[in-house]
Amino acid sequence: MKERTLSEHRREQPQRRTQLIDLTRPLTPETVYALFGDLVADEQSYFRQIRISTAVDFTTANATSCLLSIPDHVGTHMDVPVHTVEGGYALEGADISRLFGSAVVLDLDKEGADYAYTAEDLEAATPTVEAGDIVLIYSGFRDARLAERMRQTYFTTEAAEWLVERRVHALGIEPCSPDHVHEGLFVHGWGDPANRPAWPIHRILLSNDVYIVEGLTNLDHIKGRRVNFAALPLLVPGLSGSPVRAVAWVDPIDAEPVRA
């Protein structure tokens, strides 16, 4: 009897395909409006300065090449310490191993309302957060329109300290900030350098190397599950953050169908 080759044996095995879930918003003005609402009503807003142009194309050359100019905190992106921590390190200092690995997707749906997550909320959620985890929060964020106020979930200082105490590697959220942006700007005046310290949730997390990934989408497909996650930034020295391509996947042996 002829022995089967290794390749023949592999062909006979059930094929387990890893399903990749894209958690990334496109880099477009529409994404900016969805995440910020009337906070970016001014056309000169930092977040609206997305510029794409064609340098050469097939009418003038034998290739197409483009020029891209974007803010470093736009779309689905990550923050590094220098963003809100004076003297903190810039993008080239980021330990990208903290943005790749096992993640828990906590189902903390607040149906698009303003809500401050507490340490008790995080403690009660499942799956259980373990040291070294990346924590993703499904909040039920609802896209804003340019002429309306954006509503968001955010974190109390106790909740941020809870994440640091659990030694998590990163926090991923749907809104544009783990701090309440509207209150920060219009109640506390944190846009003014005279009002320091500012953005306390950013500072607690980033000063402890808990990176923040903001503007995630499609978390409803994987809420309440433990998954693999990656959100890797560009390597542009000097930046305070970077757009990322955020994805999640489940190991084939553990896979259940993911809702499309």
With respect to residue 52, please indicate whether it lies within any of the assigned structural domains.
Answer: no
Average pLDDT over residues 98-121: 98
Average pLDDT (88-96) is: 98
* Residue 215 falls inside a structural domain: yes
**Considering the domain boundaries, does residue 11 fall inside one?**
no
For residue 81, say if its preceding peptide bond is cis, omega within 30 degrees of 0. no
Domain membership flag for residue 48: no
- The 3-state DSSP class for residue 206 equals helix
Residue 67, in any domain of the structure? no
* Region of residue 189 (left: phi > 0; alpha: psi -120 to 50; beta: else): left
Q: Which structural domain range is residue 125 located in?
A: 19-43+72-254
Q: Indicate the helix (H) or strand (E) that contains 34.
A: helix 29-36
Please tell me the least confidently modeled range out of 111-125, 172-186, 241-255: 241-255
How many domains are there within the chain?
A: 1
Q: Which residues contact 14 (CB under 8 A, 6 or more apart)?
A: none
Span 45-67, mean pLDDT? 97
Q: What is the pLDDT of residue 14?
A: 57
Does 35 score more than 70 pLDDT?
yes
**H or E segment and range at residue 30:** helix 29-36
- Report whether pLDDT(254) > 90: no
Cβ contacts of 250 within 8 Å, gap of 6 or more: 18, 19, 222, 225, 227, 228, 256, 258
With cut-offs at 50, 70 and 90, classify the pLDDT of residue 251. confident
- CATH number, domain at 108? 3.50.30.50
pLDDT at 17: 75
Residue 114 CB neighbours (<10 A): 14
Mean pLDDT over the full length of the chain: 93
Domain assignment present for residue 165? The answer is yes
Q: What is the pLDDT of residues 145-166, one digit of tens each?
A: 999 999 999 999 999 999 999 9
Helix (H) or strand (E) holding 157: helix 157-165
